[in-house]
Structure 1
């Protein structure tokens, strides 16, 4: 079977990442991420003998016309692509274009949005399948059917071939950690995936999946499950080394929702990296309540250069209401410990959560300015389907905008805080943080002093991300 897997083109001039819980336009510290879920699915399909193609149209800057032209030439049996809440309407419409040039190609979509409201995807009449939740094994089983009725493919929603009735199969079990394959990066052009400011190529490595926390605004525990599943350390290290030797990659994003939750695992991973003696460089994300000085020090020694914390708010009442389970004091301690370990620190903040006021937004900005952060990202609260925030927004009538129109910006109309004010404050927060001389000094110190072209492109990328 000939299978196409792709990240769709971008509906704007900015790149879009559609990966698990992260579906976002490039921002102040976001960059185009390699599609690791698609690459893992490709590995499974190749093992089963299928002909597989992966392409990231957003990363290479090609539009929908390029996609349709290539589909017309290749005529795959199945075309499957990632979707995101910010680009939802745009992503779905691609099905009609694909069917217009290759009517026999069956079409399917995946991602957090369609996992929780699959019926919305089928409002596009040319969508044949919806892959719900963790996609790799579901894709493998779908393609194994080779045209047979997909009624027993767990985790799949589909149109019945006879009467076009929408059917929802039972949910699929999550993959065992040992079964998560190495991504088939060989099928992708890896050149577009560059670190901000550094300009160096990077890849993602996912040592675990699952999140035991239930933040009201996040889909992580819903999409990958609440029980953390850790891959064997030796498997993860083997994947890292394969990327070093096969693709000459020396920068990595350790992609895990709760990587630092298991400190023993983290220390084993770091010790393994040190034993490889490759002097690799990597970043990761973390909660502020799952780090300690000893672990941060060994992470730094093993090549970690930046850690990203989800701080979210400068107001403890909002943190409590959102179910984040942290305090402002813990955020301060975590940033301080990371700085003591010699790490760069990125802080992520959300504006416009329930309970937000003008005063609390100013508290969040004051915290961002007071902490010794190297990078800050300010998001508008988005009611992603499946989350408690989504359910609350629907029941309270706060959601005034159709999905796919402005979900990269403020869209909740809270009783005392209109979306326009949140968006204006978000822009003000970016300006306030990044117009400080010390922050630009940090930016310059992070830049690789290589070719002038790379430095110029890094500055151009960064200035475009902070322009909003």
Structure 2
């Protein structure tokens, strides 16, 4: 069969709003894994990354008409769902093709996602095996869609049927390396790019044992932490280094240090093989210690992204973050002491958050003093626990095209206003990045640190929120 995987038309401006100048654009690893899996099963694959290529709907139509796919797949989140619907509608006017949607939005609301007349199937949860089996059924004489786990489809009467959930893939080594060769690799970049260097992303684990109310990750990949073997991770890193001439990588794992022993093993292997790459990762403040951080630093780690989320313990408990303010302070202190930079994130406008608590969070951010910081506005994504909390404590817009954490306010808790919340975000950036001490420290370190755009976030924050 001929499979076409499409990233719907989207721009960095639409994704990041006024912060698009520092927005990350990485190859979509979910589609890269699907492409690799389909190729391994003998199918012909074509990928269109409209966001990277700058393609519009007509461009997609022209490419699809020439390729003539049997099946089109798109991975969607709430802000791109309507665009995926439009792509499907356009394609069905010019070619005879089936369309399947997957990804976060399809997993969170599978039946609602399939209700659009131009969508034939939805895959929820991990997609590789479900997509493979769907293609087998489509390629066969008997269309027994009911046997494909993780699939949502319409029967002969047009009724929506939801099949049993597919078991998570236990051994991630079973999945072939992402088919990056199908993507325009020269067009991708990181928001924390290295000075004169090239950074790409890699995912070495799936699942997160933590269940923060705002996160949809565990709904897709489960709460059972599974990881790729160290040897296969090193193989992929070397492939990326040799084929795409990278000097730095970003580990896209949701929580990189869940398994401490595994991280140390991987770091030791990176040091032994003399990869000489710098890297960054995402993790939690309660999952680091001084010894581990030193090992990570020795292996090339230069930046850790921490989700602090709030400076109010009540709110941390409400969103089920599972950390304390003291743990955040200790983690940042240890990280800086070993010479690793920190990038922190605080969510403003959480359900039931008062105006005074927003101020407390901003003050805590100043006390914490990470190297870089961001203040996204709370987004209660459909299907998450926070969505339920939001409906209890305030008003929530349903225009998914605007569900971006940077510019648009889609939720306002009781007693607050959209205008006041936007002003709070502006004030937060102003207080953090325009401190004389911060500016002086950045000036001192800009030539010592391997970060190209040390001032990029500060500049974007100034132009966006402060001017």
TM-score (norm 2): 0.90
Tell me what 1:134 maps to: 126
Counterpart of 1:5?
Answer: 5
Equivalent positions of 1:20-99 (< 5 A) are: 30-99=23-92
Is 1:297 equivalent to 2:291 in the alignment?
Answer: no
Aligned to 1:220: 217
Assess if the C-alpha contact under 8 Å between 1:217 and 1:389 holds in 2: yes
Deviations 1:185-214 (A, max 9, x none): 111111122223436332222221111111
Distance in 1, matches of 2:72 and 2:18, equals: 23
Asked if the contact 2:213/2:384 (under 8 Å) is kept, the reply is yes
**Shift of residue 282, structure 1, vs aligned partner:** 0.7
Cα shift readout 1:395-422 (whole Å, capped 9, x = no counterpart): 5563233322344332223112233322
Hey, what does 1:257 align to over in structure 2? 254
Residue 154 of structure 1: which of 127, 149, 152 is its match?
149
Give 1:275's aligned residue: 272
Matched, 1:179 2:185: no
- Of 388-397 and 30-39, the range deviating more from structure 2: 388-397
8 Å Cα contact 1:29-1:377 kept in structure 2: no
Q: Following TM superposition, by how much is the alpha carbon of 1:164 offset from its aligned partner in structure 2, in angstroms?
A: 2.3
Shift of 1:4: 0.9
Instruction: Give a deviation string over 1:52-76, Cα, whole Å, max 9, x none.
Output: 1123211222222222221222221
Distance 1:461 1:344, change over 3 A: closer
Q: Distance in 2 between matches of 1:326 and 1:27?
A: 31
Map 1:226-237 to 2 at 5 A: 226-237=223-234
Q: Is the Cα contact below 8 Å between 1:27 and 1:377 reproduced in 2?
A: no
Structure 2, gaps ≥5 residues long? none
Moved more, 151-160 or 302-311: 151-160
- After superposition, what is the alpha-carbon deviation per residue over 1:309-360, rounded to whole angstroms, capped at 9, x for unaligned? 0000011110011100111111111111100010110001101112211111
The CA deviation string for residues 414-459 of structure 1, in whole angstroms up to 9 with x for no partner, is 1122333223322332333333455556667558999xxx97x998
Q: 1:229 to 1:3 in 2, by over 3 A?
A: same
| Cα distance, 1:370 vs structure 2 | 2.5
Shift of 1:394: 3.6
User: Matched residue of 2:165: which SS?
Assistant: coil
Whether 1:192 aligns to 2:192 is no
Alpha-carbon distance in structure 2 between the residues aligned to 1:291 and 1:442: 25
SS of structure 2 residue aligned to 1:380? coil
Q: Is the contact between residue 3 and residue 77 of structure 1 (CA under 8 Å) also seen in structure 2?
A: yes
Compute the displacement of 1:94 (Å). Answer: 2.0
Instruction: Select between 407-416 and 394-403 the one with higher mean Cα deviation.
Output: 394-403
User: 3-state SS of the aligned residue for 1:191?
Assistant: helix
Is the Cα contact below 8 Å between 1:399 and 1:413 reproduced in 2? yes
Are the counterparts in 2 of residues 114 and 132 from structure 1 also a CA contact under 8 Å? Answer: yes
